[in-house]
């Protein structure tokens, strides 16, 4: 439940960023010369990008034409003499063929195996578990845990959070006072995990016995036996299944789990991997009055996802996506970063997750480090040259030169920014110079489902599919933040025009979105 990454900033943030909406066009007044200049700059940059991206083609094309013409003018007798030379030099031909076969075999056996995302499912709770913001305030007042100052603070957070009135809390939290027993927590996890997996198996037509790798991540709720063992028991997975249970890794653990599954799929041939991402609300709500610990109470909601990955070449034709890159950044060696999202007891001995005032600055630093690694892998050469040139000028001539921010819109078609809170979405929209449509999936996921921790990036991907925007060849950037402090990215490429799977999380409400986000 440390995905309140953006939450502390959300509490104090009432700037223009907080007023941004995804379906309202902001009107600006431009002077005509300024507008014309901006259009000129835009097309100059597009021309530069096209020229650099196709530089080799533009250079080689004339050379190929010249060589082709020269070859056509060659004396046919010369070609006949070359063939006879090769025909009678049997040793050279056999040696060359052997090296070719050996080299090809070595390459095929040692190259990374592609990892395909066959399908995925997000959990949608039943309607009776919805809780509007006003009812949430009424419940916490009746629970008797908080003084009036703490209640009003939580109301303030909720009003600015970007959450709507259709988010879900677990059944145990609807009681007054809430039932926070181990049994109630187990029931919440079972409903979320089994609900996601049932849907996944039904849509993919995969039998549980076919699963060779299972990775489960849940940050705060880790009972014994583990959640992964609970899945093995329920679905009777085979005895040699490679099972892993990740705990305490925060809202970015979904990408970590995918990375682990990817590495295992490089070792184990022709198998399936299932990644389950979830969090538990029942046992992890804070009951004290320390404000930095109250924010997660307001933002976290019920949710979970199950993702089916495969390394079988036969699955390429039916898979939705191919995994292109995973980049992980860990800032835990820095003490401030390590403690900025920290589970601890307050002065009254009540346990909660404390969020530091430095959270947004630390998240920004982690993001910068992450995209410094990711950029060269995904950005076109034109953007890399501009970035490098700016860096050289800054180092050699003037330290006042602003660093060039690469245009990641040239590398990605869709963005799934972890819906940790309104502030983090605002910051990434501004710093990466994204358009409102690029952050729409994140804002709408936060509004409809709240912060569902590590599974939020999958609700966002499902939103993009439900809107019919995912086309073959599109690239998706999933980016998540978590305790430690971590910033992790996953890049996927659509293998076809992707349609939403049956019983998707947005199936009953996609026509209502996007909605206006009020302050």
Q: What pLDDT digit, counting tens, does each position of 339-366 carry?
A: 999 999 999 999 999 999 899 999 999 9
Rounded CA-CA distance 235/193 in Å is: 12
Listed residue (489, 487, 484, 482) closest to 329, CA to CA = 487
Q: CA 176, CA 138: separation in Å to the nearest integer? A: 10
- DSSP-assigned states of every residue in 287-299: -S--HHHHHHHHH
Q: Scanning the structure block, which residue is given the tokens 């997000």? A: 122
Give mean pLDDT, residues 509-517. 92
Task: Find the farthest-apart pair of alpha carbons in the chain and give their distance in angstroms, rounded.
Answer: 99
**Which of the pair, 149 or 83, is modelled with greater confidence?**
149
Asked if residue 497 lies in contact with residue 373, where contact means CB atoms within 8 angstroms, the answer is: no
Sort 121 into a burial class: Cβ within 10 Å, 0-12 / 13-18 / 19+.
buried
Q: What confidence score (pLDDT) does residue 9 get?
A: 42
DSSP 175: S
Q: What is the DSSP string of 342-356?
A: EEEE-TTS-EEEEE-
Active site residues: 251, 330, 414, 418, 447, 451
At residue 38, the pLDDT reads: 47
If phi over 0 gives left and psi between -120 and 50 gives alpha, with beta otherwise, what is residue 452? alpha
The closest of 217, 139, 148 to 172, measured between CA atoms, is: 139
Two tokens, residue 503: 């019983």
* Chain segment 405-422, per-residue pLDDT in tens: 788 999 999 999 999 999
- Domains in the chain: boundaries: 4-20+115-512
Average confidence (pLDDT) over 72-93: 63
Cβ partners under 8 Å of residue 129, min gap 6: 168, 169, 170, 171, 174, 302
State the fold for domain 4-20+115-512.
Peroxisomal Thiolase; Chain A, domain 1 (3.40.47)
| pLDDT of res. 79 | 60
**Residue 492: pLDDT over 60:** yes
- What digits encode the pLDDT tens for the residues 96-151? 777 777 777 766 666 788 999 999 999 999 999 999 999 999 999 998 889 999 99
Q: What is the pTM of this model?
A: 0.82
Q: What is the end-to-end Cα distance of the chain in Å, rounded?
A: 24
Cα distance between residue 75 and residue 72, in whole Å: 8
Digit-coded pLDDT (tens) for 188-226:
999 999 999 999 999 999 999 999 999 999 999 999 999
Q: Give me the percent of the chain exceeding a pLDDT of 70.
A: 80
- Report the alpha-carbon angle 274-275-278, nearest 5: 135
Mean pLDDT, to the nearest integer, of 268-297? 94
Report pLDDT digits (tens) over 384-404: 888 778 778 877 776 677 767
Q: Is 394 exposed, middle or buried (0-12, 13-18, 19+ CB in 10 A)?
A: middle
């Amino acid at each position: 439940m440390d995905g309140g990454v953006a939450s502390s900033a959300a509490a104090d943030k009432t700037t223009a960023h907080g007023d941004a909406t995804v379906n309202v066009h902001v009107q600006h007044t431009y002077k005509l010369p300024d507008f014309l200049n901006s259009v000129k700059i835009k097309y100059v940059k597009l021309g530069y990008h096209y020229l650099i991206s196709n530089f080799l083609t533009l250079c080689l094309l004339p050379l190929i034409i010249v060589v082709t013409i020269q070859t056509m003018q060659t004396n046919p007798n010369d070609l006949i003499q070359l063939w006879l030379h090769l025909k009678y030099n049997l040793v050279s031909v056999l040696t060359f063929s052997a090296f070719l076969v050996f080299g090809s075999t070595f390459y095929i056996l040692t190259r990374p195996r592609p990892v395909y995302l066959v399908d995925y499912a997000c959990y949608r709770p039943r309607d009776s578990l919805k809780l509007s913001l006003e009812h949430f305030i009424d419940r916490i007042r009746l629970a008797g845990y908080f003084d009036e100052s703490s209640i009003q603070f939580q109301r303030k957070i909720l009003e600015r959070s970007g959450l709507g009135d259709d988010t879900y809390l677990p059944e145990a939290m609807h009681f007054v006072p809430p039932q926070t027993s181990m049994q109630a927590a187990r029931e919440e996890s079972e409903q979320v995990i089994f609900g996601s997996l049932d849907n996944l198996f039904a849509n993919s037509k995969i039998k549980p016995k076919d699963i060779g790798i299972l990775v489960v991540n849940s940050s705060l709720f880790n009972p014994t036996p583990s959640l992964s063992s609970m899945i093995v028991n329920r679905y009777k997975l085979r005895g040699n299944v490679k099972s892993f249970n990740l705990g305490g890794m925060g809202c970015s653990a979904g990408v970590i789990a995918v990375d682990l599954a990817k590495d295992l799929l490089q070792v184990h041939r022709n198998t399936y991997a299932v990644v389950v991402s979830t969090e538990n609300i029942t046992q992890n709500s804070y009951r004290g009055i320390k404000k930095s610990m109250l924010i997660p109470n307001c933002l976290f909601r019920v949710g979970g996802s199950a993702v089916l990955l495969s390394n079988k070449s036969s699955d390429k034709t039916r898979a939705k996506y191919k995994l292109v890159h995973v980049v992980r950044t860990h800032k835990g060696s820095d003490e401030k970063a390590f403690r900025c999202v920290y589970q601890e007891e307050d002065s009254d001995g009540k346990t909660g997750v404390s969020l530091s005032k430095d959270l947004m600055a630390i998240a920004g630093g982690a993001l910068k480090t992450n995209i410094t690694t990711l950029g060269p892998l995904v950005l076109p050469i034109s953007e890399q040259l501009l970035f490098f040139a700016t860096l050289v000028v800054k180092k050699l001539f003037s330290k006042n030169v602003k660093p060039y921010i690469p245009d990641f819109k040239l590398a990605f078609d869709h963005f799934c920014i972890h819906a940790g809170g309104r502030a983090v979405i605002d910051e990434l929209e501004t710093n990466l110079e994204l358009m409102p449509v690029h952050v729409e999936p994140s804002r709408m996921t936060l509004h409809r489902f709240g912060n569902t921790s590590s599974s939020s990036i999958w609700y966002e991907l499902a939103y993009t599919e439900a809107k019919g925007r995912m086309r073959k060849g599109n690239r998706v950037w999933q980016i998540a933040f978590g305790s430690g402090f971590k910033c992790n990215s996953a890049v996927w490429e659509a293998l076809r025009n992707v349609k939403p799977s049956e019983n998707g999380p947005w199936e009953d409400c996609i026509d209502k979105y996007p909605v206006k986000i009020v302050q």
